[in-house]
């Protein structure tokens, strides 16, 4: 698979790169009077039988390589590398905010500590300096007030991004999110649209206790008129935040504090400023054939780890990163269950009336005959979040829990734990 590792230097005249020699048009790579310099990482040299030279370059490899670097319709990327570039979720969110604020002067950011403090979690770092205090606004600690002001600004036609320091505090403003934002387009029969994004960290962090650890995915996804997004990786964070800011409807964007510092590889396409992910489409993070595991946000990472463990035991798990819990990608989930016949839903939040319950019902409605085992549900414990580390560990799903549930669904005998 040489084409994945080839660094192709396709050079618009104003770009300078390693050892470049001439201009090459990306769409006519093999014109004889152009020269292409291909730069191979040292680790691949051994696999090459001959150095790549000028017009004798194999056009098929080049074309495949081009397809990877330049997906159809995208702008020529400015930077790309052999090993995929890695950025943290924090950097991804910051760059998404920056690009969207740059692209549309109606976009502005407001919340506690987003400006001079550079963001409580540094997500809005540098934005105050770049865009000024009229577009990056530090608010007092008054969620009901500033969320309402944000919604009112959206009524008038601006595109606010309202940050909650955590979504636990959004409960103070929930009337505005639901009654003032979500329902307005419907009640006004389309006169008042609300292009607002409510974003911030959601769910458990580490040791922050009961009032600071709740997952609000199920609550907001319950409401028609809202869109609820739950990014996992850096690519998700960038693509979904950009989509949310461009979206004409109110979007609740649930991030996760513990993911902010995690790095993920991002493709060149994802780094482009026009990059956007579709809202309402889940991503199959890992293909499998024995059991489907759905997850969102931080739990995607846990599900992937569980899939690794399961593969050592001969169970091939398909991991679906929901990305969007409203609209929920029922098509992808059902298609996967029809393939694997078994389903585990994973979420961090409280189990009763949760996201997993909705997914289970969707599968029962649409793919009942395909199920070979009851749907399993892994969720946070049905208790307020405790502080002590051992109890906290029990209150949040662990990789073991997901593995065990998958095995149950595959009818691999697992001794039942004695009731606590």
Given the rule CB under 8 A, which residues bind another protein? Answer: 108, 134, 137, 139-140, 142, 144-158, 175-176, 179-180, 184-193, 195, 224-225, 227, 247-249, 278-280, 327, 330, 365
| DSSP H or E run through 300 | helix 298-312
Give me the catalytic one of 113, 212, 222, 262: 212
CA–CA distance, 273 with 275 (Å, rounded to integer): 5
Total Cβ atoms within 10 A of residue 248: 12
Contact yes or no for 250/228 (Cβ under 8 A): no
| Tokens 């798990």 -> residue | 317
Cβ neighbours of residue 409 under 8 Å, at least 6 residues apart? 291, 342, 343, 344, 373, 374, 375, 376
- DSSP character for 141? S
In this complex, which beta carbon is closest to another protein, that of residue 327 or of residue 374?
Answer: 327
Catalytic site includes residue 212: yes
CA distance 90 to 256: 10
Identify which of residues 219 and 260 has a Cβ nearer to another protein in the complex: 219
Cα 383 to Cα 211, 273, 349, 387, distances in angstroms: 12, 42, 10, 12
Closer CB to another protein, 111 or 203, in the complex: 111
Question: Buried (b) or exposed (e) across 350-385, using 16+ Cβ within 10 A?
Answer: bbeebbbbbbbebbeebbeeebeeebbbbbbeeeeb
Per DSSP, the three-state class of 292 is: strand
State in angstroms the smallest separation of the CB of 172 from another protein: 9
Closest approach of Cβ 275 to another protein, in Å? 18
CA-closest candidate to residue 375, choices 387, 384, 367: 367
Positive or negative, the CA dihedral 237, 238, 241, 247 is negative
Rounded to the nearest whole angstrom, what is the least distance from the CB of residue 147 to another protein in the complex?
Answer: 8
Query: To the nearest whole angstrom, how small is the minimum distance from the Cβ of residue 185 to another protein?
Result: 5
Nearest C-alpha neighbor of 379 from the set 396, 362, 391: 396
Q: C-beta of 281: minimal distance to another protein in Å?
A: 9
Let me know: does 57 contact 38? Beta carbons within 8 Å. yes
Residue number with CB closer to another protein (59 or 188): 188
Q: Which of 91, 143, 318, 348 is catalytic?
A: 143
Nearest distance in Å: CB 339, another protein: 21
Q: Which residue's CB is nearer to another protein, number 76 or number 192?
A: 192
- Asked if 143 is an active-site residue, the reply is yes
Helix (H, G, I), strand (E, B) or coil at 348: coil
Q: Shortest Cβ distance from residue 279 to another protein (Å)?
A: 6
Nearer to another protein, 252 or 402 (CB): 252
Indicate the Cα dihedral angle 168, 354, 325, 374, nearest 10°.
Answer: 150
Nearer to another protein, 62 or 226 (CB): 226
Active site residues: 143, 212
């Amino acid at each position: 698979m040489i084409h994945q590792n080839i660094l192709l230097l396709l050079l618009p005249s104003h770009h300078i790169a390693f050892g470049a020699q001439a201009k090459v048009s990306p769409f006519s790579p093999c014109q004889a009077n152009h020269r292409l310099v291909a730069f191979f990482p040292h680790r691949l040299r051994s696999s090459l039988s001959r150095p790549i030279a000028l017009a004798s370059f194999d056009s098929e490899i080049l074309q495949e390589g081009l397809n990877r670097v330049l997906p159809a319709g995208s702008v020529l990327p400015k930077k790309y590398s052999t090993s995929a570039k890695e950025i943290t979720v924090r950097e991804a969110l910051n760059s998404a905010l920056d690009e969207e604020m740059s692209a549309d002067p109606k976009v502005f950011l407001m919340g506690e500590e987003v400006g001079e403090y550079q963001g409580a979690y540094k997500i809005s770092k540098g934005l105050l300096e770049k865009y000024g205090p009229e577009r990056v606004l530090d608010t007092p600690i008054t969620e009901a007030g500033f969320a309402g002001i944000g919604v009112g600004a959206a009524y008038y036609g601006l595109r606010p991004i309202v940050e909650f320091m955590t979504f636990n505090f959004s409960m103070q403003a929930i009337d505005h999110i639901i009654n003032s934002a979500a329902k307005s387009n419907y009640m006004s029969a389309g006169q008042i649209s609300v292009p607002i994004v409510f974003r911030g960290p959601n769910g458990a962090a580490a040791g922050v206790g009961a009032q600071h650890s709740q997952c609000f995915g199920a609550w907001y996804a319950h409401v028609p008129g809202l869109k609820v997004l739950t990014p996992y990786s850096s690519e998700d964070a960038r693509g979904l935040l950009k989509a949310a800011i461009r979206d004409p409807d109110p979007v609740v964007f649930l991030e996760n504090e513990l993911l902010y510092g995690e790095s993920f590889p991002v493709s060149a396409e994802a780094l482009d400023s026009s990059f956007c992910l579709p809202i309402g489409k889940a991503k199959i993070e890992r293909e499998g054939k024995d059991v489907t595991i759905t997850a969102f946000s931080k739990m995607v990472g846990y599900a992937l780890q569980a899939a690794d463990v399961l593969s050592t035991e001969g169970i091939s798990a398909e991991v679906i990163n929901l990305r969007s819990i409203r609209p929920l990608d029922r098509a992808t989930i059902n298609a996967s269950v029809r393939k694997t016949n078994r389903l585990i839903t994973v979420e961090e939040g409280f189990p009763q009336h949760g996201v997993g319950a909705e997914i289970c019902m969707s599968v029962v409605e649409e793919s009942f005959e395909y199920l070979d085992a009851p749907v399993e549900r892994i969720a946070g414990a049905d208790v307020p979040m405790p502080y002590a580390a051992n109890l906290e560990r029990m209150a949040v799903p662990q990789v073991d829990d997901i593995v065990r549930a998958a095995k149950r669904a595959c009818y691999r005998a697992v001794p039942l734990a004695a009731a606590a």
